[in-house]
Amino acid sequence: MKNIYKTSFFAALLALSLGAAAPCAVPAGDPVFKAMNDEMARSMNKLKMDNLQKPYFMAYTVTDGTGCYISATFGATEGFNSYPYRRVKAEVRVGDKGFDNTNYVGNAWGEYRPSVDYGVAMNDNYDSLRFSIWSLTDEAYKSALDTYSKKKAFKESKNITELYDDLTAEPVYTAFLPVPAERLDEKLWTGRMKQLSAVFTAYPAVKYSQVSLSYDHGASRFLNSEGSAFEKPYCSGAIEIEAKTYSPDGYKLGASSRFGFCAPADLPPFGTIVEKAKQMAARLTDMNKSVTMKAYIGPVLFEENAAAKFFDHFFVNNIANPREIWKETNKWSTDSVYRRAGELVERLDMRVMPPFLNVVDDPLATEYNGAALMGHYTVDDEGVPARKVTLVEKGKLKDVYRFRAATRDFKTSNGHGRGEYHEYTSGGPGNVFIEPQANSPRVVPMPELKKKFLDLCREQELEYCLLVRDIDSFRGSFSAYKVYTADGREEPVHAIEFIGAGLRSLRDIVAVSKEMKVYNLAWTPPASLVAPSILVQEMEIKKTEDKPDRIPYLAHPFFAK
């Protein structure tokens, strides 16, 4: 590992007070860092439009590397793309730390996006890099001025008096980490994707299937005007398996599996991935014969992947994005477009889980029981050192994912500022560990958890209860089964929908398994979750309001032969 440099915080403050970018000990001989550093110093000193404000803070991020995408279906390659890339993101702030142009979006759809250049020269020509950074800085500065004036008018029109700092004060930090030379063996994995997709040729009930591999690997460089800087590896890879079938009455039923990885060596043996595809195909074959389910209120057992997605949906999502984004009310004001604050953020020191569960997030962890963790990082995307954080202690919420925007309860970051090149940074997960208390009688081996499940069903005099093995979404496709209390027989069901499934579901967990599984979350940047299977005391189910599709009139041509 290369040296880690630390610059004086007080020197940085002095430089900023004089209106200049703070000095930064960037690696000598790196033309990318030199171009970033020189253009930032010039912009902080001289960038000013007419009588309007100068920037008080700037940050650049340059990410470069190579990417590859391979997709296959039914034993044949469907798509292939291999490419180098370099992207620059510029952040310019006007105003001051107490109130600036960030954390606000106006009326136009897509306004809340940073200034990004995707067409940066791949060679390390200093002049070309300076041109790209200068052009992007000019765009970001003009946008910052416009947004600042709109945000100020919004605050006055709404008479908002409860304000929190838009940029918290953090110590200056620099870290320059080695970037391993990784390259995917594209020929090998093209052949493997064809082999993996061919699994579904043995399952006539599966009407659609596709497998894909995406992989990005390179370096991310960061520099801000306070003097913080880093270079760290950037990697994101995933093998995705997707398949669909139809129920007898025409409902489209899906299943998916995801293997996240940073380096190809992190993946499980290829035979394990093939076996997972076979399990998915067999499960969909069962679902092809599934039955509908009437309204249900009772215990639900979430196994492995379903349990991980349960925690992701109800917990992780609700302690991320702790700072609400001010926005104008318009037809585009939907959660899918504008980031909302997590619902648990305001519940500090309140019980959000049963007392026998703790939760920590440790981005410094690299593996769990031999499985690589995708959420590993040493410095976050705002230049703040990564930190292990206790989120839940004995069921009570103790912290949330914090970045460099203050909230009512927190005035500093905890090293969880995460953001891709196309989005502003916010609070997000690294490696989430759901940690049951080892001495609790509610933490039991998996066979005993299933017994508790059936015992609870019998206590409520139910003919059957619900088991969930996988989830696409909580209003979508489930791999779910009726489990009959008389003999434990399982019967696949479809067209179900959880209703009233809110944060109460977390508190209604009555037992968990001792066995823990790693699940790589579909977050960007990548994140991982380690969790047990869980038994929820009561949830409510109804038949979905979605309508069935028309089943294809002719059989799949391969199987029609």
pTM, rounded to two decimals? 0.91
Query: Which conformational region is residue 141 in: left (phi greater than 0), alpha (psi within -120 to 50 degrees), or beta?
Result: alpha
Residues whose CB is less than 8 angstroms from the CB of residue 471 and which lie 6 or more positions away in sequence, other chains included: 305, 306, 309, 310, 313, 477, 478, 479
Query: Which conformational region is residue 142 in: left (phi greater than 0), alpha (psi within -120 to 50 degrees), or beta?
Result: alpha
Q: What is the 3-state secondary structure (H, E, C) of 71-126?
A: EEECCEEEEEEEEEEEEEEEEEECEECCEECCCEECCCCCCCCCEEECCCCCCCCH
Return mean pLDDT, the chain.
90
Q: Which residues of the chain have pLDDT under 70?
A: 1-24, 108-111, 329-340, 473-476
Distance, in Å, from the CA atom of 245 to the CA atom of 247, rounded to the nearest integer, reads 7
Question: What pLDDT, on the 0 to 100 scale, is given for residue 7?
Answer: 38
Helices 186-197 and 270-287 meet at what angle, rounded to 10? 30
Torsion of CA 423, 425, 431, 434, to 10 degrees: -100
Residue 517 near residue 371 (C-beta atoms within 8 A): no
The sign of the dihedral angle between the CA atoms of 421, 427, 428, 432 is positive
Residues paired with 252 in a beta bridge: 246
270 phi and psi angles, rounded to 5 deg: -60, -35
Question: What pLDDT, on the 0 to 100 scale, is given for residue 16?
Answer: 40
Q: What is the 3-state secondary structure (H, E, C) of 433-472?
A: EEEECCCCCCEECHHHHHHHHHHHHHHCCCCEEEEEEEEC
Torsion of CA 257, 263, 269, 275, to 10 degrees: 10
Pure H helices in 294-430 = 305-311, 317-319
| Strand pairing category for 527-543 and 443-444 | unpaired
Question: What pLDDT, on the 0 to 100 scale, is given for residue 125?
Answer: 92
SS3 category, 533: strand
Residues whose CB is less than 8 angstroms from the CB of residue 311 and which lie 6 or more positions away in sequence, other chains included: 432, 434, 529, 531
Residue 349 near residue 393 (C-beta atoms within 8 A): no
Among 120, 281, 140, 80, residue whose Cα is nearest residue 198: 281
Tell me how far CA of residue 430 lies from CA of 178, 321, 345, 524, in angstroms: 20, 14, 17, 10
Distance, in Å, from the CA atom of 488 to the CA atom of 509, rounded to the nearest integer, reads 21
CB environment 63-78: b (16+ within 10 A), e (fewer): bbbbbbebbbbbeeee
| Strand pairing category for 371-372 and 431-436 | unpaired
3-state helix, strand, coil in the chain (%, to 5): 25, 35, 45
Distance, in Å, from the CA atom of 443 to the CA atom of 441, rounded to the nearest integer, reads 5
Residues whose CB is less than 8 angstroms from the CB of residue 35 and which lie 6 or more positions away in sequence, other chains included: 126, 129, 130, 133
Among 149, 500, 154, 112, residue whose Cα is nearest residue 334: 112
Question: What pLDDT, on the 0 to 100 scale, is given for residue 17?
Answer: 39
Among 237, 198, 197, residue whose Cα is nearest residue 217: 237
- Which H or E run includes 239? strand 229-246
Residue 470 near residue 481 (C-beta atoms within 8 A): no
Task: Tokens 């493997």: give the residue.
Answer: 192
Question: What pLDDT, on the 0 to 100 scale, is given for residue 330?
Answer: 56
Distance, in Å, from the CA atom of 354 to the CA atom of 506, rounded to the nearest integer, reads 8
Residues whose CB is less than 8 angstroms from the CB of residue 108 and which lie 6 or more positions away in sequence, other chains included: 332
Task: Assign domain 9-240 to its CATH architecture.
Answer: 2-Layer Sandwich (3.30)
Omega within 30 of 0 (cis) for the link into 525: yes
2 phi and psi angles, rounded to 5 deg: -70, 170
Domain ranges (residues) in the chain: 9-240, 290-323+341-543
